[in-house]
Chain A
Amino acid sequence: GAVVSQHPSRVICKSGTSVKIECRSLDFQATTMFWYRQFPKKSLMLMATSNEGSKATYEQGVEKDKFLINHASLTLSTLTVTSAHPEDSSFYICSASRESDNEQFFGPGTRLTVL
């Protein structure tokens, strides 16, 4: 099956610092990667979509300067939360899709806590 990993799985940082989260497709090439945010007991909300080698497309209300997304290769996308604040604390989940089908393969998520 197609496996997507995320690193780190859990991170705690101080307010004002930046945090980078990596999303990797381990056994397939991901033409498109997606970043979601999930608050406790809530649904997943799409933040942005990125295609390898091009700029990410952000959903309405998501600050692109706050959440920097890079998709430099077909197996790696990164999400950097810049100048993090406590309200950025959340569960961040990435997914990756292949060109061959519609299915998105989800990573295990990263729990970010900003103190």
Chain B
Amino acid sequence: GESVGLHLPTLSVQEGDNSIINCAYSNSASDYFIWYKQESGKGPQFIIDIRSNMDKRQGQRVTVLLNKTVKHLSLQIAATQPGDSAVYFCAENMGSGGYQKVTFGTGTKLQVIP
């Protein structure tokens, strides 16, 4: 899995601009990836997911790109809004034995500048 850093990397973005949050994963056997948004003092909130047989998936204002060759995942947020300010985690799902074990990445703090 991914190591936990000493502090969260921060991405500052002007309101209205697009945001790109990157994530590297380590397990080439992972077949399902999820992006979560976590606001201060709250639990993670599902944003979008992607399976390993896809390289791109779009939602409302969000797009996830998966590059299995370099084990890289990105989350693109279009027209970033102040309400997007939060910590974003990528997670990989390594399901086995009938249940799904989700391993979270380090996380990136997104700060939207009004």
* In contact, A106 and B103 (Cβ under 8 angstroms): no
Using A43-B4, A46-B101 as known contacts, say yes or no to A93 and B43 having CB atoms under 8 A apart: yes
Q: Which residues of A line the B interface, CB within 8 A? A: 4, 6, 31-32, 34, 41-46, 49, 51, 93, 95, 97, 102-109, 111
CA separation between A105 and B100, bound complex, in Å? 12
Q: Note all chain A residues with C-beta closer than 8 A to B46.
A: 103, 105-106
Q: Which residues of B line the A interface, CB within 8 A? A: 2, 4, 7-8, 32, 34, 36, 41-46, 49, 89, 93, 95, 99-107
Q: Note all chain B residues with C-beta closer than 8 A to A108.
A: 42-43
Among A31, A49, A93, point to the contact of B44 (Cβ < 8 A): A93
Query: What are 5 A-B pairs at a CB distance below 8 A?
Result: A6-B43, A43-B105, A46-B103, A102-B95, A106-B36
CB nearest neighbor in A for B8: A41
Q: Note all chain B residues with C-beta closer than 8 A to A51.
A: 99
Q: Note all chain A residues with C-beta closer than 8 A to B99.
A: 31-32, 49, 51, 97
Among B44, B100, B104, B107, point to the contact of A97 (Cβ < 8 A): B100
Q: Note all chain B residues with C-beta closer than 8 A to A105.
A: 46
CB nearest neighbor in B for A50: B99
* In contact, A43 and B107 (Cβ under 8 angstroms): yes
* In contact, A43 and B104 (Cβ under 8 angstroms): yes
Q: Note all chain A residues with C-beta closer than 8 A to B105.
A: 43
Q: Note all chain B residues with C-beta closer than 8 A to A45.
A: 4, 104
* In contact, A44 and B44 (Cβ under 8 angstroms): yes
Question: 3 tightest A-B contacts by CB?
Answer: A106-B43, A44-B104, A43-B104
